[in-house]
Amino acid sequence: MKHYTLAIDVDPANKSIDAKLTMRATWVAASPQFVLDLDQALEVRKVTLNGKAVRNERDGGRIVVKPASR
């Protein structure tokens, strides 16, 4: 199952966009990480998994998420 919820706040006066993406998915492969695509122009402030902060790294247009455990 996959489900995405995107909440966007656009501030034309400051020429900025603030957004929060909530993703629900089923982890089906035995892998220590997963990868999300995101335009390089966008900044990632925080990544959480089940409500807890998780390690993540930026690799060009990708975010590599490396949770300690699932």
- Give the gyration radius of the chain's Cα atoms: 14
Report the distance separating Cα 17 and Cα 42, nearest Å.
Answer: 9
Q: In terms of Cα–Cα distance, which of 44, 40, 38, 48 is closest to 68?
A: 48
For the stretch 9-18, pLDDT in tens is 999 999 999 9
For the chain, give every domain's residue range: 3-66
Quick one: DSSP state of residue 20?
E
Tell me the average pLDDT of the chain: 90
pLDDT at residue 70, as a whole number: 54
Global pTM reads 0.71
